Amino acid sequence: MRAILTDHQILLEHYLDDYAGKDNQQAAAVAATVLALAGAGRQLAALVALGPLAGAMAALRCGERFGDSQKELDLRSHDLVVEHLAAAPVAIVGSEEADEALVLDAAAPLAVAVDPLDGSSNIETNAPIGTIFSIYPVGEALDRALLQPGSAQLAAGLIIYGPQTLLVLTVGRGTSVFVLDPRSGDFALATAAAAVPARTREYAINASNQRHWDGAIKRYIGDCQKGAEGPRGLDFNTRWVASMVADAYRILVRGGIYLYPGDDRAGYREGRLRLVYEANPIAFLMEQAGGAATDGRGRILDIAPRTLHQRVPLVFGSADEVAHVARYHSDAFAGGDDSPLFGDRSLFRA
């Protein structure tokens, strides 16, 4: 491994060496796997930076797979991530872009769940896109390695390809942010311990779906929109990038709440985001930064997945506001218990 300290910067390799220590084989395997994912991120950052010079990255390759379309960059991202993970101590990979999990080395100790390219609808608009990943121990059964509750995660992260390329990472000791130095190719530590403010005046939701929401979500958003004169007594701002990695990073920096509830559209009743490789890593990052994440019925990280591509409603961000959303489904707010997003098993139910 090459030198890991330059100009007093703490590089990703140094951070992971400190995490792994000398005799912790599992932590060393996690560190090697994070470095492999960071390597894929470097290549993807360079590819994204080329934009149309790299070809028609937004070209549709496969339509309506699991209700989602696949674009050229989705598949290129998948191939790059799998290529890098093949050289890491990874037994099996579950990717949004593959119908079934891919076995790389059945004797290896780790499993990786990954969304190689989050926000692909933004490819041609030059808005931030990213990669989301989780790392798990394989455990006793390889075929169940990717169906563990999110609380079993050893590490999770996201890589944002935007004005800066950022790696947001947790190995279970807080959430840290690294920035890619394009001059050296190093990921350097920018924020040692990100902390989500407990309170917020910003919310992120796709308001075009308002007519499909349940009553509790409509009431919550409606009260936010009433501003300082309304029951919340605050003027709220709306933010929506349509790239969850970008919304998540904004929340890590200045607080906020992100809502992608289930609604009454066909295929959306159980939510739209994937539990294993989208909701779980985001929830782990948020909790490690003092935030919260729920599906409305309980803590995201406590859900035992049934399938690799299982969908789930997701609300995450500033802890006080996540709790406040849940109150709109309690008797005190006349929300009732019939909501597809929140119910009588809500994590924050009094």
> Has 206 been labeled as part of a binding site?
yes
Residue 312 forms part of a structural domain: yes
> Has 260 been labeled as part of a binding site?
yes
How many structural domains are present in the chain? Answer: 2
**pLDDT(346) > 60:** no
Question: Quick check: 283 and 260 in contact, CB under 8 A?
Answer: no
Confidence band for 283, pLDDT divided at 50, 70 and 90? very high
Residue 233 forms part of a structural domain: yes
Question: Quick check: 114 and 86 in contact, CB under 8 A?
Answer: no
> Has 278 been labeled as part of a binding site?
yes
**pLDDT(344) > 60:** no
**pLDDT(31) > 80:** yes
Residue 60 forms part of a structural domain: yes
Mean pLDDT over the full length of the chain: 89
> Has 120 been labeled as part of a binding site?
yes
45/155 same-domain check: yes
Using CA atoms, how far apart are residues 89 and 140, in angstroms rounded to an integer? Answer: 16
In the block, which residue shows the tokens 């070209």?
59
Residue 346 forms part of a structural domain: no
State the CATH number of the domain containing residue 229: 3.40.190.80
Tens-digit pLDDT profile for residues 240-273: 998 999 999 999 999 999 999 999 999 898 999 9
82/109 same-domain check: yes
Active site residues: 68, 74, 96-97, 115, 117-118, 278
Residue 79 tokens, joined = 């191939």
Confidence band for 51, pLDDT divided at 50, 70 and 90? confident
Quote the pTM value. 0.90
Q: For residue 118, what are the domain limits?
A: 5-191
Residue 39 forms part of a structural domain: yes
Using CA atoms, how far apart are residues 76 and 129, in angstroms rounded to an integer? Answer: 14
151/287 same-domain check: no
Tens-digit pLDDT profile for residues 198-240: 999 999 999 999 999 988 899 999 999 999 999 999 999 999 9
Tens-digit pLDDT profile for residues 153-197: 999 999 999 999 999 999 999 999 999 999 999 999 999 999 999
Backbone region of residue 92 per phi and psi (left: phi > 0; alpha: psi in -120 to 50; beta: other values): beta
Mean pLDDT confidence for 86-110: 97
54/125 same-domain check: yes
180/262 same-domain check: no
> Has 280 been labeled as part of a binding site?
no
In the block, which residue shows the tokens 């506001």?
321
